[in-house]
Amino acid sequence: MHVLQPKHSKLKPEEINKLLEKYNISISQLPKIKLKDAALPENCEVGDVIEIERKGKGKTAEFFRVVVV
């Protein structure tokens, strides 16, 4: 992981359910990230949801992606 790379972490199933309920969406409506993306944590599989934490101007923004082929 590079110092400029945002933190990527894999969500647990209960965290995924809370996320989907919070935004009233289905998993297919999340933005996609490729399985071969170098930033993904190890042991990721298709269908996993990844949280990306980007920092800027003293704030942290969270983004979510679903892993696809």
pLDDT at 56: 85
φ, ψ for residue 21, nearest 5 deg: -70, -40
Burial of 48 (0-12, 13-18, 19+ CB in 10 A): buried
Are 65 and 33 in contact by the 8 Å Cβ rule? The answer is yes
Distance CA 62, CA 60 (A): 7
pLDDT at 2: 73
Residue position matching structure tokens 């990527």: 8
pLDDT at 33: 96
Q: What is the CATH number of domain 7-68?
A: 3.90.940.20
Among 64, 69, 47, residue whose Cα is nearest residue 7: 64
Q: Chunked in runs of 10, what are the mean pLDDT values of the chain (69 residues)? A: 84 96 95 94 94 91 96
